[in-house]
Every structure is written in C-alpha cells, then in structure tokens.
Structure 1
Amino acid sequence: MNITQLRLMVELALPIIIIVIVLLELLLIPFLGRVSRRRRVRRVTVRIVIFLTIILMVSIYPVVINAPLEWHIAHVFGNGIIFRIDLLSLLFMIFAGLIFLVVSFYTAVDIKNFGREKSFYSFFMITYVATLGTLMAGDLLSFFMFFEIMTFASYVLMVHQRSQNVIEAGSIYIYFGIIGGLSILAGILILSAYTQSYEWLTLGEKFGDLGAVRYVAAGLFILGFGVKAGMVPLHHWVPVVYPKSHLSVNALSSGILMKIGGYGILRLFVSVIESTNGQSEQMLNGSLLTLENIGGIIIWIGIITMIVGVIAALEQEEMVRMLAYHSVSQMGYVIMGIGVAAYLGFDGSMGFAGGFYHMINHGIFKALLFMVAGAVYFKTKDKNMYRLGGLYKNMPFTTIVAIIAAFGITGMPLFNGYASKTVLHHAIVEAHVYGHSSFFWAEQFFMLASAGTAASFIKFIIQIFFGKRAEAHKDVKETYNSGTVAMVILAVGVVAIGLFPNALLDYFIIPAARTLNYDAQFIDNYLVGMNVFLYDDLSTMLPVYSMGALIYIVGMRYHLFHFHLPKQLNPESGYYQPAYDKFIAVTKKVLNKMEQVIIKSDVFIYGIMLLVLLISLLNFL
C-alpha cells in the first residue's frame, strides 16, 4: 500500500480507525501487569497510540482546509451516526491528542505509588477516545453519547486514589455531570421534536422558526455545557474536586476537558450563524436577534466568571485550589469571547478567534501550572503556599517553567496568553463600539480581572520560589524524569506561541472563521495580518501589571488574602451539608413520582420540567 492509498483510507474511515486503534490498546492494557518492565511497556504503548492518532488527524489537514469531511454510519440509533470534521473540530482534536500525550508522560510520576495502573490507563484511553468522539460528532445524539462517556470515564480518573474524601469530592463532580448531561439531553429532545433532525447543520436552519422554544433550548444547552466549562454559578465542582485528584488529572481536566464545554457553546452559536446563509431576510433578522440577546447575556456571564474566579483565587492558601479557581476565571475569558461572537453575529469573528485561541493557550499554560504544583508537592509534601518559599535554590528548573507559565497566564508579551488576551480585548472593545454602551464596563472588568490574575501569580511565584526558605525544605533536591519532559514540552509551547502568535491564527483560526460564514471583509480587515505587538496593545499591559503588583502589596500588607466568607455564605462549607442530603432524598422521591408523567408527557413539557428541576437543584449547591 503506497502513501496515496493510505491517505485515501484515512480520509474514508478516520473516525473508525481512531476508535479501533484505541480499542485495541484497551484490550492490550490488562495483559501488561505487575512487573515493572511491563508497566513501562504499557505507558509506552499508550503514548504510541496517542501519537499515532495525532499523526492521522494531522494528515487530513490539507483536505479539511478545503472542505469538511463527513462520515455516515447507518442503522445506529435508528437514524445512524454522523461524524463531521471541520477546521474548528480538527484543531481541538489535535490539541486534545497533544494534551493527552504530554499528560501521559506526567502520569508515570504522579500515580506510580497508588497502584491500579491498569484501571487508570484504561479509563485514561476511554476518556481520550470519548473526547475525540465528542469533537468528531456531527449529530447531537452521538455528541451526547461521547460527552457522557467522557464525563463518567474522567470521574474514574478523578477518584483514582479511592479515599473517602476523594470519593465524596468525586460525587460532586458526577452530580454536576449528570445535571449537565440531563440539561443537554433535554435540549436535544426539544430540538428534535421541533426540527425532526439531530444534525448540527440543521440546528441553525430551523432555529429562527422555533419561537420562544429556541430560548429554552439554547438555555438548556448553555446550562449543560456551562457545567463542564466551570461557568459561574456552575463552577462549584472545580475547587472541590481538583484538590482531591491527581495533579495529572487536574492538568488533563483543565487542559482539555473543560474546553469541551466551551467548544459545545461555541459550536452551538456557530451552527446558527453558519446555517443562516441563503435564508429570507425576516428569518435572518430573527436568528440574529436571538443571537444578540443570548450573546449579550453570555458576555456578562463570562465577565462574572472571570471576576468571581480571580477573587476566589486570590483568597486561597493552597496552590491547587488557587489554580482551580483560575481555571474558572480563565474560562470566563473564553465564555466572554464566545458571547461577543454571538452578540455581533456575522461581524463576531474577533470574538470567535479570541475564544478559540484562548482555549488553546489556557490549556497549555494551565496544564503546566498544575504540573509545577505537582513537582513542588512531590518534594515538599505541602500544598500551602505560605509554608513554602525559597525553592528556587533547590528547584531551579521548576522555578523557570513556573515563571514561564505565570507569564503565559498573566498575558506577558512574548508569551502565549498575551496573544489571545489581546484578541479578546479587541473583541470586547468591538462589542462596545458596535453594540451597547454597557460593554464599556465589561472592558473595565476585563482589565480588572487581568490585574487580579497578575497579582495572584506574583503571589504564587514569590510565596513558593522566593522569599525565605522553610527550614523543613532546605534539603529538597530536584529530580528529572518523564514529568520533566512533559513540563519542557508545555513550556516550549507557551514561548513558541508567544513568539509566533500568528501561526495558529493563519493556519487554523482564520480559515475556520471563513468556513463558518463570518463576514469575509471583516476578517480581512481586522484578523488577517493582525499585529498584536502594536504600541496600543503592549501599553495595556503596563497598568495591568502595575495594578496587579499594587493588589499584591496591599493584600499582603493588610492580610486581605486571608479573608474567608462566613460559613453561612460559603456554599463549600459543611454548614449546608444536611440541607444537601435532605434535598437529594426529597428529589429522589419526587423524581420517582414524576417518572411516569414525564414519559407520557409531550417532549416540550419534559424539557420545561427538567429545566425547572435543574434550576432548583442549582439553588441548593
């Protein structure tokens, strides 16, 4: 078989090939058992399989850049399964493969003393193939199926340590996951009842005809995807679960799994925009009015998520909880960008590009930060930043990559976060200029959140690596292993994207925007050849870092970072646990009584009842 024939085979059956390859690896994992040499072979085979799938995905880029690829598999779920890969999904697939590959190097260090490696790597690969399946899905049913498999498989990874407190934290994750899944399912049922289709492409075509139902459907999808994305007020599971999970699982979750929630919201909106081409002016205006209303709400949800996440992060003593809240805050930037993309409709390509770009950048620097936290914890056995200090002498490599990651997340020029935050800043300014005047304040909150992020990571770097070294850690010595390889790869990614910020824009993001029916002239004028190193953009970072330094100095001087909410105002405290338990018990009884009614009810009523139930549940969390 020559190269041409091999490429043709990949084009004709890529989703099946990927699924089969991963399934074969899953069959192999149980036979690589207790002997240390076999364990090393198992880790190597996992990496080889992931690397091979990345090569396969990269190989179809020349085809997908010209037109999306579609595969139809009949007689599954009645209507069959549709796989569809365009540039938007392809970049996320390649990025998912890279994050899983890098994290696989780190897992060898992170889980080596906990046993059950067969189970861990089995569910690691199930999570991987489910993530790819979610991104490849061209219809809502297959999307939901893979999305739920991803949720339950990642739950097993998060509770791998199996202690009681880990199981309790994991129950919060799975509870939120079920809420999100039910919400998405309700949205799918409503849309299928009114559109007689499960395809993403037909979602927007008939969205304008749904009347008030479209708001209910959109709200259910946003609720479901918002849970996975850690969107406020659906973020509760993130700071609860992350401190109890392996650091490698946190890197995986924050690096790519949370992005699937953002991808779902983005896909929802771009499907509507993409499908409006050729419709009547009346329907077009109706669709765009819906997008504008919902987009404006999403912008403010993103802003609130940014602010809540960064304020909570500043108050943390433990580095893992701080990073968890920053995962929430950084997803706020993404959600805001998606909101701008929806709010401005055909002129929303800047918001699309910024949200898309920042999901990639956040995945890289946040995975690196969790690995840095892991490297520190493995050597000191302490996660409290205030009990650390002076570790730059003992851990020079970790200090360097920590600073690189901190520069990335705070938006320092020449590091990756600067590029995507600059695009997002342009997007929120456009929402103000071309939209409502209230978005002037959204920009101010954007800058405030950025300053808070800078303050938080000034604290992170100084408290852990500089200052006075704790006597208990004077003999700490840095070691180099496969985890070091993972951190080097991610650090190189932070710097490379920062030095060449237009590479992702030119080869993936801009071509993807063109295929999604955004205004071509707007793209040519504002995105093509965009220079993020102009004086106006660079100068915005001076007040951000100045304000961040001031926040840090004042916060430390007056002990403002030790403020904690009273237990009555803190939903994470045990104060409300009896109420949670009682509400869950009542909910089970109510659900049992409602089951037969729901089954016999009209699909729209079913969706409404689920929505009311989910809102009620969230009020108690």
Structure 2
Amino acid sequence: MKGNYILLFLVFWPIIGSLITYIIGRKNKNMRDNFAIFVTAIEFIVMISLYPTLESQISFQWSGFAGSRLYFKLDGFRFIYGTITSFMWLCTTIFSKEYFAHYRNRNRYYLFMLMTLGATIGVLLSSDLLTTFVMFEMMSFTSYVMVIHDEKVQSREAADTYIAVAVIGGLVMLMGIFLIIFHLRTTDFDEIHKIMLNYSGPKGQIYLAAILLMVGFGGKAGMFPIHIWLPNAHPSAPAPASALLSGILTKTGIFGAIVISSNLFLYDAIWGIGILLFGLITMFIGAFLALFSIDLKRTLAYSSVSQIGFILIGLAMEDILGEHNALAIRGALLHMVNHSLIKLVLFMAAGVVYMNLHELNLNKVRGFGKKKPFLLFVFLMGVLSIIGMPSWSGYVSKTLLHESIVEKIWLFEAYSSEARFYQVVEGIFILTGGFTTAYMTKIFVALFIEENPYFQDKHHAYNGKYISKLGMLAIGIPAILLFVFGVFPGIMDFIGKLGQEFFFGRDPAHEVHYFAWINIRGALASLLIGAIVYILIIRGYLMTKDKNGNSIYINPWPKYLDIENYIYRPAFNTILPTIGEIIAKTIGNIVTFIGSLEYGIFKSVDRMYNESIDNKVKGKSSGKLDELLNQIMPNTLSSSLIQFTAGLVVIMIIVLLLS
C-alpha cells in the first residue's frame, strides 16, 4: 500500500461504521441511530477538510488487491461529489431517525445504507476501471437491500428489476473492461487518456468496449432504454433511500459516462452524437411519462430519468463541440450538482407526506400541504429550481446546457440540414423544460393549493406536528442552498471551475451573463410552454369527475406500453434463461460428443487391433477402412451430434447479432 491513507479511510470508515452500528443496534436503538449520524458526520467533515490538498491531487494505491489493485485519487470533481455524497448521506441519516421510527428491520437498513456510502465513495474516488467495477458492484448489491426494505410485493418486484439491471449491466461492463485491457493494456484513467490521444489501432473495438461499458453505467444512471428500475424502485424504497438512489447512485453511472466521454472519446463527434440521441430520448420520455403519473414518488422518479437526459446532453455536447466545449462541461457538471440537491429536498419532502399519511396517490395526499409553511417552502425551493426559474440554481445549469446547444448552431457558417438538426435538439430541450414545469406544477398544486374533498380535516390535524425540528434541519439546509446558488451564480461558477479538469475542460472564452434577457427569454419560453401544457393537457385531459362530482387525477397511459412488463420481464424470466439453457446444453453436448468420440475411437482401435491379430493368425485380411469409420461413429453419437449442431447454430446467430 502506498499513498495517502485518508482516501482509504473515506472508503472503509462507513463500512466499518456500519458493522459497529449494527452491533450497537442489537442493544440500544436510539444509540444506534445517533451513531449512524456520527459516522456520516465524520465522513462529511473529513471530506471537506481535504479541500487544501486539491492542488497536489493526492492518491492511494493498494497493489495486489484481488490480483489487481485498488486505485483512488482526489481532484476537484471527486472532491465536489464526495462532499455532496457525504452531505446527502448525513441529511438522509438525520431524517431516517424520524422516518423509520415505526419501521422494522432498521438495523438491517442502517447496516447496508452505510455500506452503500463506502462503496459509493469508492466509485467516485476510483481512478482505474477495475477499481470502479469492484466498488460499483459492491454498491449495487448493498443498495439492493435499501430498495427491498419494505418486503412488500411491489418492493420485491422493484428490487428484482433493480438487481437484474445491475447484475446484467455489471457483467456487460466487465466484458467492456476486458476489451479495454486487451487493446490498451491498461485500466488507468490517465493512461487511457494519453493512449487515446494518439491511438491508431482498431477504433471499432474501442467503440464496442465503450458501448459495453455504457450498458452498465447507463443502467445505473437511468438512461433509456435501461431506465426501467427507476420508476418502480423509487416509489417502493423508503424516502431517504429514494433520495440517495436518485440524487447520488444515478450519478455514479454518470461518473462512468464522463470517464468514457472524456478519456476515451474526448472531441469525438461520432461518440457525442450517439450520447446526444440517447440523452434526448431519455430527457423527453422521462418528462412525458411524468405528466401521466398520479403517484408522488413515481412522478419524481420519472423526473429523475428526464434530468439524467439533460446531463447526458451536456456530456454529448462536450465531445461534439470539441475545443469549444467549456459551457457544455460546466452545464453537465452543475446540473449533476443541482439534480442531487433538488432530489434530496423533493424526495425527503415526499417522505414527510408518506411518513404521516402512508399514501402517495395524488388524489389521497391532495391538500396535505395546506397550512404547513415549512413543507411548502422546501418543496417550492425544489420545484422552482428543477423547472429552471431565474434566481434558483437549476436555472444556472440549464442556461449553460442551452447555451452549449446554441453555440453549436452558431458555429455553422451556412444553413444546412445539420444546423437544422441542432435547432430541433434545442426545440426538444425547451419543450421538455416545459413538460418539467407542467408536471411539477401538477404535484405542487395538488399538495398545497387544492383541497381534498374527503380527507382535508384529517390533513389539517397534522398541522404543527408533522415533522421534528431535526427533520426540518435536514431538509431545510439543502432547500436554502438551492436558492443561494441561484441568487449568487458565482458560487456555481466556482464549483464548475473546480471540477472541470476531470473533463479536461477549460474556462469559457467569455463570461456568461445569466440574467441577460437572451438567457431569461429561453427560461421563460419553457415556463410558458409548461403553463399551457398544465392547463390544456393536465387540467383538461388528465383529470375527470368521480361519482360525487369531485375532480380527480387519472392516468390513462396504456399498460401494454409498459416496456418492463412486456419486454424486459419476459426477457429476464424466459428468453435469457432459455438461451442460457441452450448454451449450457450445447457445451454439455460438446463434452459428451468429444467423450463419446474418444471412447468410440478407443474401442474401435482396440477391436480392430484384436481382429488383426486373429486374422494374422488365420491368414486373412485386416478389414476395410470403411468398417473402421462406421465403428468409431456409433449410432449413440447421432443425437448428441444433432443437439451440438443446433446449439452451435444458435450461438453463431447470437454472435452475429451482437457483432
């Protein structure tokens, strides 16, 4: 082992703390809760104390670990996300003390929640692909327990989907890592970057490796079409876990996407176009499906899918714009930061609703927020930030992302079909921003403006006693940050400058005037579209009257368009096991065939030898070659040969489809 041991401490302190927390919890539950808070507080304090070391970029290597090594490094970006991760874990752990007051299996939750913290920090500090993979897989398995915590049917199904995506994505990712090792002879991020700057080998194989890596990273991030775990995992998991899944664990997937885009394909427009297309689909479909949802946390989950799409567009523009990518890099980085804090606030606010009502259906929680000023304040901070309202943090990052698209359009010297394409990209970007405004307005109005025709008196009974002072602190501080970062965008610029080196970014060629009319106009366009969609679509089409004449929210989205139930689950439950069975039988038949062939040859040669001896004694011929061939291919081999051939054909078809 060599390097700065403080990085090893940051990874393994939460893991050690999780075991101590579990032991304490067997004796004293209150002490366990407080010790868990202590573990996350120490992690946060140690992380922020490392700020003065950033110029030296400290690192740690554990050579010989599992036949390879663990390699951690700290730079500006890793410091930013390590700080955000530890801060979010501290806030959710404080909130968990109140949220889980009447839950069972709390000891198990704290054990795996703190283990997940250590693994997540390990991913974010990793500096080679094998270290990333080890920590990534550990994070996937420990966080699975957070998703399934309730152990209800819905939770079990959501957790099954989550772990299926994680395991398959991890295996595919590992194949990509093997290809990188084969072609580049290294997994070190910095070495990969240096090699790829002057790489003259088969680029197609590098693209294939990157695609395989993106299956694993994209699945965790929530990128279409492997976003399926998000809409189910968030409503099923406890609210503190949902905040971490959406705010942080998705960003570990984005971390991997950044590594690929910046180290393997910096300035590679072909890779950028591919990420742009998937980013556009992810951004649009997440927002579109959120319009239909009538479940509070599911709406926020679809929102997370959409916001991941916004971030992917920034990563795509990083490669497409080449040396002009400063705004795209800043926009992607700052939208990551904003989305983490926004979802921390919104999911914990949704947790307050569920903690009191044990309901998430908008028709049942409707009106709960009336006469609850604190809940209204924190939720409003999250809403105004995520819709990109000027003076809130989300406006800063969305402005930068929008400017990066516009900058690409301005680079064209003449109007062309390619320029038109980027104008369409800009249009989808603004339209999706409008959808974001519409669905966030929907849940805000339902919670805080409308009255519940059936349960309003019950909702009012919670006024003044729906959350503790400690819980207010855990939600209130990040909510205030969303406003402070928006009013003082210089703070966001400082964060962007601190983290841009990880992307190999530079300072923008010109200062961005966030409150200039041209930038405010783009934000207002999205807000206006959102108002129109809310009035015409949500109020006009997605609401109806119940039998008593009261307006209720409906979700008319056809169930047969659910790609999880009609594509992925049949694939996981039937198609993939069938293919696996065919491959396993084929391999078994190969072994049987070879064994039978060897046995047949041995017996035939032995028989022919004995016959030749007898014939010599009798003075006869030793026989024909055809007789020997007939004997070494006995009839018992025919069925194995047929199965072997059929299986081989199936394998060849699979290989051709994947190549």
TM-score by length of 2: 0.82
- Structure 1 match to 2:499: 512
8 Å contact kept, 2:292–2:557: no
Could you list the runs of 5+ residues in structure 2 that have no partner in the other structure?
413-417, 544-553, 591-650
Kindly provide the amino acid, as one letter, of the partner of residue 60 in structure 1.
L
Among residues 524, 536, 557, which one is paired with 1:542 in the alignment? 524
- Whole-Å Cα distance in 1 between the matches of residues 485 and 68 of structure 2? 42
Aligned to 1:117: 106
1:446 corresponds, among 426, 429, 436, to 429
359-368 vs 441-450, greater mean Cα deviation: 359-368
| 1:18-29 mapped onto 2 (5 Å cutoff) | 18-29=10-21
**How far 1:326 sits from its partner (Å)?**
0.3
One-letter amino acid of the counterpart of residue 28, structure 1 = I
Q: Deviations over 1:41-97 (max 9, x none)?
A: 222222222222222222222221x24222222222434322122211121111111
| Mean Cα deviation higher: 195-204 or 121-130 | 195-204
- How many residue pairs match? The answer is 574
> Which residue pairs with 1:427 in the alignment?
404
Note the C-alpha offset of 1:393. Answer: 3.1
- Judged with a 3 Å threshold, the aligned counterparts in structure 2 of structure 1 residues 27 and 34 are, in CA distance, closer, same or farther, namely closer
Letter in 2 for 1:492: I
**1:103 is matched with which residue?**
92
Counterpart check, 1:533 vs 2:521: no
Alpha-carbon contact 2:381-2:480 (below 8 Å) kept? no
Provide the C-alpha distance between the structure 1 equivalents of 2:483 and 2:147, rounded to a whole number of angstroms: 30
Counterpart of 1:41 in structure 2: which amino acid?
M
Secondary structure class of the residue paired with 1:248: helix
Does residue 1:295 correspond to 2:275, yes or no? no
- Work out the CA distance in 2 between the residues paired with 1:76 and 1:485: 41
- Assess if the C-alpha contact under 8 Å between 1:225 and 1:264 holds in 2: yes
Say which of 500, 524, 545 aligns to 2:488.
Answer: 500
1:233 maps to which residue? 225
Letter in 2 for 1:49: V
Question: For 1:74, what is the secondary structure of its paired residue?
Answer: strand
Alpha-carbon distance change, 614 to 410 in structure 1, aligned in 2, over 3 angstroms:
farther
CA drift at 1:310: 0.5
Q: Which residue of 2 aligns with 1:484?
A: 472
Q: Give 1:510's aligned amino acid.
A: K
Is residue 502–residue 530 contact of structure 1 (8 Å, CA) maintained in 2? no
SS in structure 2 of the partner of residue 71 of structure 1:
strand
Match for 1:536: what amino acid? I
Kept in 2, the 8 Å contact 1:422–1:537? The answer is yes
Q: AA paired with 1:499?
A: V
Name the CA shift for 1:555/1:386 in 2 (closer, same or farther; >3 Å).
Answer: farther
Find the partner of 2:69 among 77, 80, 83.
Answer: 80
Aligned partner (choices 236, 242, 246) of residue 244 of structure 1: 236
2:449 paired with 1:466: yes
Sequence identity, in percent? 27
Q: SS state of the match for residue 60, structure 2?
A: strand
Who wins on radius of gyration, i.e. which is larger?
Answer: 2
Match of 1:304 among 281, 284, 308: 281
Question: Which has the higher relative contact order, 1 or 2, with Cα contacts under 8 A spaced 6 or more apart?
Answer: 1
Please report how far the alpha carbon of residue 612 of structure 1 lies from its aligned counterpart in structure 2 after TM superposition: 6.2
Structure 2 counterpart of 1:465, which letter?
F
CA distance in 2, matches of 1:302, 1:81: 31
Is contact 1:220–1:611 with CA below 8 Å preserved after alignment? Answer: no
Q: Single out whichever of 439-448 and 566-575 deviates more from structure 2.
A: 566-575
CA distance in 2, matches of 1:563, 1:20: 45
Structure 2 matches for 1:305-320, cutoff 5 A?
305-320=282-297
Deviation string for 1:270-312 (max 9, x for gaps)? 2246xxxxxxxxxxxxx74xx2101012112111111100110
Out of 360, 372, 380, the residue aligned to residue 395 of structure 1 is: 372
* Equivalent in 16, 39, 59 of residue 29 of structure 2: 39
2:325 to 348, 370, 381: 348
1:389 shift after superposition: 3.1
Do the aligned residues in 2 keep the contact of 1:295 with 1:340 (CA within 8 Å)? yes
- Partner secondary structure for residue 120 of structure 2: helix
* Kept in 2: contact 1:29–1:122 (CA 8 A): yes
- Equivalence for 1:284: none
8 Å Cα contact 1:368/1:490 also seen in 2: yes
**SS of equivalent to 1:382:** coil
Deviation of 1:484 (Å): 2.2
Equivalent of residue 553 in structure 1, options 530, 535, 538: 535
Residue deviations 1:72-128 (CA, integer Å, cap 9, x gap): 222224343221222111211111111111111121222222222221111111100
The equivalent residue for 2:611 is: none
Q: Contact 2:297/2:350 (CA < 8 Å) preserved in 1? A: yes
Query: Aligned equivalents of 2:445 and 2:325: distance in 1?
Result: 39
How far, CA to CA, are the matches of 2:652 and 2:515 in structure 1? 48
Q: Which amino acid aligns with 1:537?
A: N
Give yes or no for contact 2:234–2:301 (8 Å, CA) kept in 1. Answer: yes
Q: Secondary structure at the match of 2:515?
A: coil
- Following superposition, the deviation at residue 377 of structure 1 comes to 2.2
Task: Name the SS for the 2:203 alignment partner.
Answer: coil
Q: Does structure 2 conserve the Cα–Cα contact (< 8 Å) formed by 1:320 and 1:383?
A: yes
Distance 1:220 1:597 in 2: 30
1:3 matched residue in structure 2: none
Alpha-carbon separation, structure 2, partners of 1:242 and 1:516: 30
Structure-1 separation of matches of 2:654 and 2:327? 35
Cα distance in structure 1, aligned partners of 2:572 and 2:136:
26
- The answer on whether the counterparts of 1:161 and 1:245 sit within 8 Å (CA) in structure 2 is yes
How far apart are the structure 2 equivalents of 1:587 and 1:485?
Answer: 53
Where 1:73 maps in the other structure, the secondary structure is strand
Say whether the 8 Å CA contact 1:410–1:450 is kept in structure 2: yes
Going from structure 1 to structure 2, the CA distance change for 1:595 and 1:320 (only over 3 Å counts) comes to farther
Mapped to 2, the partners of 1:264 and 1:614 lie a distance apart of 28
- 2:595 is matched with none
Which residue in the other structure is 2:146 paired with? 157
2:252 maps to 1:260? yes
Bigger Cα displacement from structure 2, 106-115 vs 90-99:
106-115
Query: Quick one: distance in 2 between partners of 1:23 and 1:168?
Result: 27
Name the CA distance, whole Å, in 2 between partners of 1:563 and 1:610.
44
Q: Residue by residue, what CA displacement relative to the aligned partner does 1:521-572 show, whole Å, maximum 9, x if unpaired?
A: xx2423xx53311121112222221211111111134324645343433224
Report how far residue 252 of structure 1 moved. Answer: 0.8
Mapped to 1, the partners of 2:165 and 2:652 lie a distance apart of: 14
The answer for the alignment partner of 2:52 in structure 1 is 62
- Indicate the residue corresponding to 2:439 in structure 1: 456
Q: What's the secondary structure of 1:354's corresponding residue? A: helix
Q: Is the CA contact 2:12–2:118 (under 8 Å) kept in the aligned structure 1?
A: no
SS of the residue 1:233 aligns to:
coil
Contact 1:380–1:473 (Cα < 8 Å) also in 2: no
Q: What is the 5 A alignment of 1:157-236?
A: 157-207=146-196, 208=199, 209-236=201-228
- Residue 366 of structure 1 corresponds to which residue in structure 2? 343
Counterpart of 1:97 in structure 2: which amino acid?
S
1:341–1:491 Cα change, 3 Å:
same
In structure 2, C-alpha distance between the alignment counterparts of 1:557 and 1:408, rounded to whole Å: 23
> Do 2:44 and 2:90's aligned partners in 1 also have CA atoms closer than 8 Å?
no
Q: How has the CA–CA distance of structure 1 residues 232 and 439 changed in structure 2, closer, same or farther, with 3 Å as cutoff?
A: same
Match of 1:380 in 2: 357
Query: RMSD over aligned Cα, in angstroms?
Result: 2.7
SS in 1 for 2:207: helix
Q: Secondary structure at the match of 2:367?
A: coil
Aligned equivalents of 2:108, 2:373: Cα separation in 1: 34
SS of structure 1 residue aligned to 2:455: helix
**CA distance in structure 2 between the partners assigned to 1:569 and 1:356 by the alignment:** 33
Distance across 2 between alignment mates of 1:565 and 1:613: 37
